[in-house]
């Protein structure tokens, strides 16, 4: 499953890869593929969030639910799509809040790789999904894997910012030590809920203010 991560994340992820739950997960994905089901993202992009934001550098975590389920959208980063792909509605709303908060005009590209390379871990709860079937892997052992990652970050690092957008992401708050880290919660940026508290949350400026207070380089959103 292309599980090898080539940076310092490997030290922390290798024990998770050896867990029985992860072995069950690989069996499940192999079975899906043997039944000719199409899964996203492509195998070599499943762990992109870790490849682009190494453990030492990570200072912000944005928790998503699962990858986009249409062709050519998912590339291993929550809320992000590859260069040249039409910007999905939730990401359009993220860009709208970014403009409201910091005056940054919407990016014509939907790729958030430039965030990841600055230490923003764009982590979905499930790292794969079946084509045209949103949430199809939401109850697989991916949850154990990604919750272990959140717990690991909380335990081993200091002064992280966790952005939890929507009820699904907000359930992860119990994994985070709020005495060591900043947790910012808001409604999901989906068109169905963005107006219920995502717009106007000012999470981008609040993140940078917190990083500066703790002598960490702010994110160039």
Pair of tokens at residue 213 = 């207070």
| CB-count burial class (<10 Å; 0-12, 13-18, 19+) for 20 | exposed
| SS3 state at 43 | helix
Please give the backbone phi and psi of residue 34, each rounded to the nearest 5 degrees, phi first: -65, -20
Hunting for tokens 């998770």 — which residue is that? 16
- As annotated, the active-site residues are 66
Task: Establish how many alpha carbons lie within 13 A of residue 168's alpha carbon, considering only the half-sphere containing its beta carbon.
Answer: 17
Lookup: tokens for 42:
């492509």
Give just the sign of the alpha carbon dihedral 124, 130, 132, 137: negative
Strands 129-130 and 39-40 come out as antiparallel
Contacts of 114 (CB under 8 A, 6+ apart): 220
């Amino acid at each position: 499953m292309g599980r090898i991560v080539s940076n310092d994340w490997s030290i922390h992820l290798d024990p998770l890869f050896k867990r029985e739950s992860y072995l069950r997960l690989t069996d499940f994905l192999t079975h899906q593929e043997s039944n000719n089901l199409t899964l996203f993202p492509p195998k070599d992009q499943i762990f992109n969030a870790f490849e682009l934001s190494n453990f030492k550098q990570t200072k912000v975590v944005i928790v998503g639910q699962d990858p986009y389920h249409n062709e050519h959208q998912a590339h291993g980063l929550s809320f992000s799509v590859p260069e040249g792909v039409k910007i999905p509605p939730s990401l359009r709303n993220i860009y709208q809040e970014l403009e409201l908060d910091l005056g940054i005009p919407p990016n014509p590209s939907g790729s958030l790789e430039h965030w990841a390379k600055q230490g923003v871990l764009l982590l979905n709860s499930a790292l794969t999904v079946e084509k045209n079937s949103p949430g199809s892997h939401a109850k697989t052992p991916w949850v154990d894997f990604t919750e272990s990652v959140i717990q690991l970050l909380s335990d081993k690092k200091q002064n992280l910012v966790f952005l939890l957008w929507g009820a699904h992401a907000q359930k992860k708050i119990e994994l985070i030590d709020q005495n060591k880290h900043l947790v910012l919660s808001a409604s999901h940026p989906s068109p169905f809920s963005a107006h219920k508290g995502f717009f106007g949350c000012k999470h981008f400026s609040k993140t940078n203010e917190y990083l500066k207070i703790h002598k960490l380089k702010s994110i160039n959103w």
